[in-house]
């Protein structure tokens, strides 16, 4: 497994893929679930993005675990690692949502659309999965930023102004 790249932990590089692609995938899968014109144009792209998110998540987690074992222990790092371990469940929920939307698309294109109730149920699942994924990405990212930067800034800098006042 690649652990560093140009002297940087690969986790610091890979994590940005999840930070960018998971919320974008969530937004696009919601559009596909509730707007047939978007589904017609983007369903396969969104399915590929959801699969990439689910596929990259274990790589990001594994690189994070390597980093965790090669830096000083701290409660903040431990908390971030524990939260990061949950990301796979959110990525899989997003992938399931994308698969359901793609299935609805295929059925409709073959002249056997799903019932309105089932289509609505898929849309609700997709909205919940996408929102939960985005919230979890933010929570994990925030905990990671805290674990890296909490000791770097003086405590007076938390006041919100450039001068720390």
Mean pLDDT by 10 residues, the chain (165 residues): 84 94 98 97 98 97 92 91 97 98 97 97 98 98 90 60 50
Residue 45 contacts residue 156 (beta carbons within 8 Å): no
The overall pTM is greater than 0.95: no
Show me where the domains of the chain are located: 6-46+59-149
**Residue 80: how many other CB atoms lie within 10 Å:** 23
Q: What is the 3-state secondary structure (H, E, C) of the chain?
A: CCCEECCEEHHHHHHHHHHHHHHHHHHHHHHHHHCHHHHHHHHHHHHHHHHHHHHHHHHHHHHHHHHHCCCCCCHHHHHHHHHHCCHHHHHHHHHHHHHHHHHHHHHHHCCCCCCHHHHHHHHHHHHHHHHHHHHHHHHHHHHHHHHHHCCCCCHHHHHCCCCCC
Q: For residue 165, what pLDDT is reported?
A: 46
**Residue 139: how many other CB atoms lie within 10 Å:** 14
């Amino acid at each position: 497994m690649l652990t560093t790249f140009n002297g940087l932990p690969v986790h610091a590089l890979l994590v940005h893929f999840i930070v960018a692609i998971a919320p974008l995938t969530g937004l696009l899968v919601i559009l596909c679930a509730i707007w047939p014109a978007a589904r017609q144009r983007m369903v396969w792209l969104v399915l590929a993005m959801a699969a990439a998110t689910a596929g990259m998540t274990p790589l990001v987690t594994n690189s994070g675990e390597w980093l965790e074992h090669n830096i000083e222990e701290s409660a903040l790092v431990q908390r971030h690692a524990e939260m990061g371990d949950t990301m796979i469940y959110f990525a899989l929920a997003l992938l399931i949502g994308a698969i359901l939307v793609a299935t609805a698309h295929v059925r409709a294109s073959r002249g056997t659309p799903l019932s309105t109730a089932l289509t609505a149920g898929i849309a609700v699942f997709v909205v919940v999965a996408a929102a939960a994924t985005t919230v979890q990405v933010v929570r994990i990212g925030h905990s990671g930023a805290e674990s890296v930067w909490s000791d770097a800034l003086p405590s007076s800098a938390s006041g919100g102004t450039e001068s720390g006042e």
